[in-house]
């Protein structure tokens, strides 16, 4: 079994008097992780799966006495898919405040729904963590860099979901089921989604614009909707952990793009499933975009799990000079170009280095990426 980076992080927060919240997309391994942690408590752990209607009813609008009776002598209570319980935040607050000897771990697949329910009741009472699909670093630790590097082209096409990795040969079927049964189903269940066909078209448009600047006005024209609806749906896609935004960087120069953004997917396989394209990498015209999406997301996983705090940007001028990725850490700028093909020694654009002379630049390619993601 692949060891997940988050396991030790979660364990380190147990016994601190606060709930542990684990948020991540469906099927990334949250339930498996929580069951592994509960194994350390033998028969003193209570696992409640809120996908089951009868389990949800155990937590809905209960008094502290009813919750005490439910929990009994258990020392660990794990509530999986907690966002499915209405007003779950109040029940969690009662458990934390009234049952001091109980450690509470809560998972959710929707950052939006769970945040709405728990943010106010659990202020100052929680540790919150994000769980992503499997990281390249986790796979390298499980086997070796040499072995995983041989599979790099496969990962760029099929992504990093646990089920995909564990079932070679069935990747297409798994990803189709993942997008149809979970991604779209969960998205369409939101009361704010009144035009499901529009959100599907937006996802397809975003899939084809990975690595490029995204204009909400252009997407609105493309999907025959309005910019306000597009903005609302992309915000929803972000909060349900399908995509994430990379804003533009601007400080010193008048010709820097100031309000632009790129949008990336948390998983290459999901992106390719949305556009139904699983062609081998050597036959694709979007290999560069797939590399950029993959390596940027792997960097996000690595820095999140390693608690490396940074601001993240891309940079472009009106004259089309650009830098793929910028990290701002402790007041210093680190710039990166992502190259899939042959790499010659490259420098950051002169305009940028003159404006930000203390910045450091690297090209990240399949020949040198290990240090960037592990």
189 and 307 part of one domain: yes
Assigned domain for 336 exists: no
pLDDT tens-place string over residues 207-225: 999 999 999 999 999 999 9
Average pLDDT over residues 355-362: 95
152 and 273 part of one domain: yes
Query: Range of 212's domain?
Result: 136-312
165 and 287 part of one domain: yes
Which conformational region is residue 276 in: left (phi greater than 0), alpha (psi within -120 to 50 degrees), or beta? left
The CATH number of the domain holding residue 114 is 3.40.50.300
116 and 246 part of one domain: no
For the chain, what is the domain count?
A: 2
Q: How many angstroms separate the CA atoms of 311 and 59, rounded?
A: 38
DSSP-assigned states of every residue in 260-325? -EEEEES-HHHHHHHTT----GGG-S-HHHHHHHHHHHHHHHHHHHTT---EEEEEEBTT--EEEE
Q: At what angle do helices 111-118 and 88-98 cross, to 10 degrees?
A: 50
180 and 214 part of one domain: yes
57 and 195 part of one domain: no
Q: Is 257 helix (H, G, I), strand (E, B) or coil?
A: coil
13 and 106 part of one domain: yes
Contact yes or no for 44/129 (Cβ under 8 A):
no
The pTM (predicted TM-score) of the whole model is: 0.94
18 and 75 part of one domain: yes
Name the domain boundary from 312, 329, 364. Answer: 312
10 and 75 part of one domain: yes
What percent of the chain stands above pLDDT 70? Answer: 98
Name the domain boundary from 312, 338, 363. Answer: 312
249 and 156 part of one domain: yes
Question: Model confidence at 116, in pLDDT bands (50, 70, 90)?
Answer: confident
Look over the chain and give the mean of its residue pLDDT values, rounded to a whole number.
92
Assigned domain for 271 exists: yes
Q: Give the residue from 290, 316, 2, 242 showing the smallest Cα distance to 143.
A: 2
Q: Give the residue from 157, 239, 162, 225 showing the smallest Cα distance to 195.
A: 225
What is the H or E stretch that residue 332 is in?
A: strand 332-338
Q: Give the residue from 225, 161, 216 showing the smallest Cα distance to 193.
A: 225
> Angle at Cα 79 formed by Cα 125 and Cα 136, nearest 5°?
90
Which residue did the predictor score with more confidence, 166 or 344? Answer: 166
Tokens of 180: 């149809």
pLDDT tens-place string over residues 24-71: 988 999 999 999 999 888 778 999 999 899 999 999 999 999 999 999
């Amino acid at each position: 079994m692949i060891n997940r980076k988050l396991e030790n992080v979660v364990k380190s927060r147990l016994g601190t008097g606060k709930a542990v919240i684990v948020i991540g997309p469906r099927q990334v391994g949250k339930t498996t992780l929580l069951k592994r942690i509960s194994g350390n408590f033998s028969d003193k752990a209570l696992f409640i799966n809120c996908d089951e209607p009868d389990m949800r009813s155990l937590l809905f609008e209960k008094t502290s006495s009813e919750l005490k009776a439910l929990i009994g002598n258990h020392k660990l209570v794990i509530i999986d898919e907690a966002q499915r319980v209405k007003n779950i935040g109040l029940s969690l607050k009662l458990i934390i405040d009234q049952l001091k000897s109980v450690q509470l771990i809560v998972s959710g697949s929707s950052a939006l729904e769970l945040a709405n329910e728990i943010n106010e009741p659990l202020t100052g009472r929680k540790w919150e963590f994000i769980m992503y699909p499997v990281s390249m670093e986790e796979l390298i630790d499980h086997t070796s860099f040499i072995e995983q590097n041989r599979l790099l082209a496969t990962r760029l096409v099929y992504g990093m979901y646990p089920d995909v990795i564990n079932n070679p040969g069935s990747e297409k079927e798994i990803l189709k089921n993942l997008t149809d049964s979970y991604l779209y189903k969960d998205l369409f269940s939101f009361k704010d989604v009144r035009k499901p066909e529009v959100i599907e078209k937006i996802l397809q448009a975003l899939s084809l614009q990975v690595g490029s600047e995204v204009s909400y006005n252009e997407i609105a024209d493309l999907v025959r909707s309005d910019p306000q609806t597009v903005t609302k749906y992309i915000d929803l896609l972000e909060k349900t952990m399908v995509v994430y935004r990379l804003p533009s960087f601007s400080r010193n120069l008048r010709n820097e793009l100031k309000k632009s953004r790129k949008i990336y997917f948390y998983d290459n396989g999901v992106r390719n499933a949305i556009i139904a394209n699983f062609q081998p990498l050597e036959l694709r015209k979007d290999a560069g975009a797939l590399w950029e999406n993959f390596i940027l997301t792997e960097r996000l996983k690595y820095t999140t799990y390693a608690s490396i705090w940074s601001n993240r940007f891309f940079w472009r001028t009106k004259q089309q000079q650009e830098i793929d990725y910028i990290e701002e850490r402790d007041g210093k700028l680190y710039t990166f170009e992502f190259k899939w093909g042959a790499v010659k020694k490259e420098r950051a654009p002169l305009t940028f280095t003159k404006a930000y002379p203390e910045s450091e630049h690297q090209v990240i390619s399949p020949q040198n990426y290990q240090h960037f993601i592990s």
